[in-house]
Amino acid sequence: MKVREIMTTNVECIAPETGLKEMAQKMKTLDVGFLAVCENDRLTGTVTDRDIVTRGLVECDDLNSCHARDVMTHDVVWCYEEDDVKGVSEKMREKEVRRMLILSKDKRLVGVVSLGDISKVEEKESGKTLKDIAEAA
């Protein structure tokens, strides 16, 4: 099964200059804890609610002038929409992530897959992935 068959396609992308409060508000409105950061139609990073707290509150002297670029994770983990679900699950386990960004062949953001998405189709694989990620934490 290809990951494009199970991915969520309505992924929110914010600009690197998005402020902390705006990011938090968007997460609250969408009921998510994760946003992709894109610049010029290209994926450049990710921001989680945890990033806002641990990096924003600790590293930003002035919260009103702190932006996504200041708190985002630059080392983005992703795969292609044509990749197999099992391979994506293995990569998530290897990288110890709970979400995988999905790119098209031309490297445009087209979706995201979570452990929950994988668990719906590959119960055994997602259980092993979740166990490995939890043990690493």
Domain boundaries, the chain: 3-136
Q: What is the structure's pLDDT at 17?
A: 96
Q: Which DSSP state fits 119?
A: H
Q: In the predicted model, is pLDDT for residue 10 greater than 70?
A: yes
- 57-106 pLDDT, tens per residue? 888 888 888 999 999 999 999 999 999 999 999 999 899 888 999 999 99
The pair of structure tokens assigned to 119 is 């668990």
First CA to last CA distance, the chain:
29
Lowest model confidence (mean pLDDT) among 20-29, 56-65, 116-125: 116-125
The pair of structure tokens assigned to 41 is 């139609």
Query: Dihedrals φ, ψ of 100, to 5°?
Result: -125, 125
Quick one: CATH architecture of 3-136? Roll (3.10)
- 33-50 pLDDT, tens per residue? 899 999 987 899 999 999
Q: Rounded to whole angstroms, how far apart are CA atoms 82 and 2?
A: 6
The residue among 136 and 25 whose pLDDT is bigger is 25
